[in-house]
């Protein structure tokens, strides 16, 4: 079923659950749906969005709106108080082994520039792996083999959106063909074999 207020779905590693964002009760929260039986219930208090399952399926990353900024949080599927992991971050994803988290961050000194960073979960150490000037960064996604991170970038009022990848071993950033750039690209997802990227693209400038 569809409430008309749901978005940003993410499937659990075992394929039994879907986490998604819903505003059906007036507040943006992370909800969990069981694919067998169809039961669904809110997991977080909100305002939250952009959930991502951990590789072991036991916890979720999500982004919480903190007013002037956003932060990346982690919570267990059984509930409990969420823990903030990354400040001033707008999206995040797990590494395949669950030891690291990639996140997108707008630069404090520029509303139109972004950083792609990696957090070491065990130590809390952050490393910047890419910086974009005059572009915003969306939907960072770690490849299944852990070697590459894909992300979308662009400006709300322009038709210069594209998908790019960064090789972690070399730091090399490259655009992904074909048929790009475009408008308002997001929702990236790797295929299981890491050879294909899926994405969502708008047909109109969102500015």
E strand spans, 66-123: 70-76, 79-87, 91-94, 100-106, 114-120
Place of tokens 């067998």: 36
- Does the pLDDT at position 207 exceed 50? no
Q: How far apart are CA 138 and CA 87, in angstroms?
A: 16
Specify the higher pLDDT residue, 205 or 102: 102
* pLDDT for 157 beyond 80: no
The dihedral sign for the CA sequence 65, 79, 119, 153: negative
Taking only the tens place, the pLDDT of each residue in 56-95 is 999 999 999 998 889 999 999 987 899 999 999 999 999 9
Q: How many CB atoms lie within 10 A of CB 12?
A: 19
> Given a cut of 60, is residue 205 above it in pLDDT?
no
Please tell me the least confidently modeled range out of 23-37, 128-142, 147-161, 176-190: 176-190
CA 143 from centre of chain: 13
- Give pTM, 2 decimals: 0.90
Angstrom distance (rounded) from CA 166 to CA 150: 7
Distance (Å, whole) CA 188 – CA 186: 6
Q: Which of 72-76, 153-157, 174-178, 184-188 has the highest mean pLDDT?
A: 72-76
């Amino acid at each position: 079923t569809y409430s008309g207020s749901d978005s940003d779905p993410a499937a659990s590693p075992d394929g039994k659950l879907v986490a998604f964002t819903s505003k059906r009760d007036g507040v943006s929260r992370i909800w969990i749906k069981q694919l067998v039986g169809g039961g669904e219930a809110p997991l977080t208090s909100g305002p939250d969005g952009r959930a991502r399952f951990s590789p072991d399926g036991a916890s979720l990353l999500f982004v919480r709106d903190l007013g002037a900024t956003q932060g990346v949080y982690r919570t267990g599927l059984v509930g409990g108080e969420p823990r903030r992991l990354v400040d001033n971050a707008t999206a995040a994803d797990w590494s395949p082994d669950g030891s690291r988290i990639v996140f997108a961050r707008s630069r404090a000194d520029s509303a139109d520039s972004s950083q792609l960073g990696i957090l070491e979960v065990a130590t809390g150490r952050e490393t910047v792996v890419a910086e974009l000037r005059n572009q915003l960064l969306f939907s960072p996604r770690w490849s299944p083999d852990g070697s590459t991170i894909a992300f979308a970038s662009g400006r709300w009022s322009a038709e210069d959106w594209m998908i790019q990848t960064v090789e972690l071993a070399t730091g090399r950033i490259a655009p992904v063909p074909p048929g790009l750039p475009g408008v308002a690209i997001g929702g990236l997802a790797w295929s299981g074999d890491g050879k294909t990227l899926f994405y969502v693209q708008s047909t109109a400038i969102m500015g």
